[in-house]
A and B are shown apart, each in its own frame.
Chain A
Amino acid sequence: MARIGVFVCHCGTNIAGVVDVTRVAKYAETLPGVRISVDYKYMCSDPGQNTIIDAVKKYNLDRIVVAACSPRMHEGTFRKTIERAGLNPYLMEMANIREHVSWVHSDDKELATQKAMKVMEMAVAKVRRSEALSKMFASIEKRALVIGGGIAGIQAALDIAGAGYKVVLVEKEPSIGGRMAQLDKTFPTLDCSACILTPKMVAVSQDPNITLMTYAEVVEVCGYVGQFDVKIKQKAKSVNSKCIGCGVCVTKCPNRKSLSEFNEKLAPRKAIYTPFPQAVPNVPVIDRETCTFFKTGKCKICEKVCPTGAIEYTQQDEIIKEKFGAVVVATGFNIYDHSNYGEYGYGEIKDVISSLQFERLINSSGPTDGHVVRPSDHKEVKNVVFIQCVGSRDESKHRPYCSRVCCMYTAKQAMLLKDHYPETQSYVFYIDIRSAGKNYEEFVQKAQNDYGVVYLRGRVSKIYERGDKLIVKGADTLSGAQVEVEADMVVLANGLEPKANAKELAQLFHMSYDQYGFYNELHPKLAPVETAISGVFVAGCCISPKDIPDTVAQASATAAKVCALFSKEKLEVEPLIANVNQLTCSGCETCYNVCPYSAIEMEDKEVRRGDMRHVAKVLESVCKGCGACVGSCYCKAVDLKGFSDRQVMNQIETATTELSTND
C-alpha cells in the first residue's frame, strides 16, 4: 500500500478565497493510502516546503500530491522539495486547483470546492501508480552547422566560433554576403551596407574555428540533437585551391551570355565568375550551364590564362558527410516576383523595376557605377514613382502579410535618389506607413519634409507605357482624387517571401513551416529562435520578413542557444518520454509516421532469441513526450513514462465516480 501525503495550498486568498481548502484536506484523509493531509497558506514558501519534508520523514511517505497552482508554475519547485526529502522527484503529482478551479469558478464556491476535491482525488489516483524515473543523458558533438551565408548566418557563425566551438558555414552561392551585400545603404542610419558587412565576411574567412563551404548545399539529414549526421553536396567549382583570386580568368572569359544574379539581371556576367569583387572566398566558379567549353568542348581560355593552374574542368560534385551537435538555419528570403502583376506590366515593362534592382542601380559598384538610369534606354530619370505592397498585403496574390521592411527601404531609396540627383522628384504610393523601430518614423518624416518626397495614399491600379514615359494610374484616398503620374521609372516595393526551396530544406529537418514556407518557431514569443526540433535553431527572414537589426539579434540569439547546449558535457533529457515494448510491437510504423519530432526509429532486432523483427525504438534524447505514438499504436506497445496508461486510466475512473464523501 502506498503511503501518500496530500498538501493543499491556500495561495493566499487566490485559492482559499473560493475553495474551502480545509474541507479539501479533510476529504483527502478519507482516501485510501493517504496518511497525512494538511493545508497551508503558501506551500511554495520555505516553511511550506519544510512542512512537506518533515511530513515525509515523520510519516514515512513515499508519494506526494500538492494541490496548488499549475504544474507549469511550481512542478519543478516541488520535485526538488521531495528530492531533498529523499524521494524520487517523479513520485510527486500536482493537482491544479487554482487555474483550473478557483480562478474560473469564483461564482460558485460550493461547486468549486467539490471540483477541487475531485481534482485532488484524481491526482491521488494517478500518483498511486507513479513509478520512480531516473534522469537521462545524451552525448553532444560540439560542432555547429550554419546554413545560409547571409548576415544572419555570418553573425551566428562568428558568435559560435567566438565562444570557441567549431562551425561549418554552408552557402549555396559562390560567395557569402547574401542579400545585404546587394544593398546600397541601410536605413535609418544610411550606413553603407557593404562597408559594415565586408569586415564580417572577412572575419568569417579568417576565423580558424569556421570552415566555409560555398557553392554547397545540405542534401540529407539524419540523427537528433547532439548527433546530427548531415550530408553536404559541394558542387564542382571547376577551380581548385591553387586559385589566388587574381581574376584574369574572369576578365578573359569571352562568354557573357548569362545575366548576373547578384546584379538582379541588370548586367551580363561571364561563365566563370565571382558574384562581386569583394566576394568571400575570392575564388571564381564556372557556371557549367553556360560555359562554352562544357557545352561545345572548345575554348579553355581560362585554363590558358590562369597563372597558377587552378582551373580543373574534371572536378566532380562531392558529397561530404559531417556530424554536428546543433544546426542554425538562416536561409533568408527572395523578393516577390512582380511578373504576377498584370496591371504592372507582367514584368515586361523594362523601366518598372524591383526594389533590389534599384539598390543595384544606385550602388556605386553596381552595373551602372551608381548612375540611376532607365534599363530600357539608359537615360537619366526625373520623375520616379515608388509603389508599396507589391506582393505584400495582397490576398489575391496569396501574400496577405506585411513584409515589414518595404516602407522603410522605400523612404531610403527615395532619399538616396534625391541625394544623388537633386532635380528628381519621387512619388510614393502607399496604403499605410509602418515605421515601428528606433528612429524609423523620424526617418520617414524626413523623407517627406526634408527631401520633398510626395506620399500618396492609395494602391496603383495600372502602369502602362506611352511613348518613352510610364503612365501610373493611382489614387489618393485622403483627398478622394484619382492621380495620374507621368514617370520615367517605377520602382516596386517587392514583398519578401521564403526561398524557393525553403520547404524542401524544412522537410530534411522535419521542421514545420507555414503556408508560405516560412519556418515556424517553437513559440512565437517565448522561443522565437527555437524550432520544434531540438538542436535546430532559426534566424532571420526564413522565419518571417524582418530588418537587419532584428536579423542580427536573432542570429546572436541562436548562437547563445547553441553555446548553451554545447556548454554541457552531457545533455540532460526529461525522462517523461515514450517507451516501446518491443516484444509486443508489430512493426507497423504507424508511430514512426505520426511522430512530429522524428523521435522514433525503426530497427531490425532480435527481440527474443531467434526472433528477428522489424520494431520501433524511441530515440530518448529526441522524444518530447507528446504521446502521439501512444495514441496511434494498434497493439498498445508504446507507453509514456509519467503518463502511463495505468496512471491515466486511474485518473479517468476517479473522475467519473461520485465524490465518496459523507459530510
Chain B
Amino acid sequence: MHRTATTDAVRRATREGVGVVVATSAYGLSFGALSIASGLDLWQTMALSLLMFSGGSQFAFIGVIASGGGIAGVASAAMLGLRNALYGMSMRRVVAPAPALLPLAAHVTIDESTAVALAQDEPRAQRAGFWVTGIGIYLGWNVATLAGALLGDLLGDPRQWGLDAAAAAAFVGLLWPRLRARQAVAVAAASAVVAASLLPVLPAGMPVIVAALVGVVVGLTNWLGPRHESALPDPGGPDHRQGDHA
C-alpha cells in the first residue's frame, strides 16, 4: 500500500506541476512582446529569459529600461530576485539535488517550482513537483518568450495596442496574490504613493527603488504586523493559487 500511495502522490505532484507550467508559460508571450516594446531586441529578450529566468525580475528590468533608467533596472531586477535565495534555502533541503544538478536546481528555483514543491506532503512528490514545474516552465517560458518577441516585432507602435497598459497590468498580477495580509496591503498602498509622488522629481528607475524602502522598514519593525507568524517561506507567486486548488 505504501508504494502505491507514494506513486499516487508523485503522479499528483506531476499533474499539478504540468498545470502550473501551461499557465505560467502562456504569459511568457506577454513578456516577449513587452520586452520588444521596451526597446530590447530579440536576442536581448531571449538572453533575459534564458539566463535571468525569473518573471518578476524580467518584467521589472524591461519596465525600468523602457522608462530610461539604466543601472536602476539592474538593481530592481536584483532586489526582486532576492526572494529566490530564500526559496533556494528551503529547496536545498526539500529537493536535495546531487552536486552536479545543483546549478540547474538553483536556476529553476522560482515562485512556481517552490510553490508546487511545498504543496506536496511526501519527499518524492516534492522533488517531482519541483523538477517538473521548474524544467517545464524553463522550456515553456523560453518558447513563449520567443513567440511573443517575434509577435512584438510585427506590432509596431506599442501604445496603439495598449502594450504600455499591459506592462502595468502584469505587475498588478504579480502583486495580487501577495496581498492577503493587512500589512502587505498597507505596504503596497504606501509604496505606490511614494513611487508616484517621486516620479516628477527623481530620475527614471529611482522612484521604485526608494519606494522599496517602505517594505524594508515595515518588514524590520513589523509595523501593522501579526504577533505570531510562520517561519515557512510563502512563495505567493501568480501560480500559488493554482497550486492551491489544482
- A and B part of one assembly: no
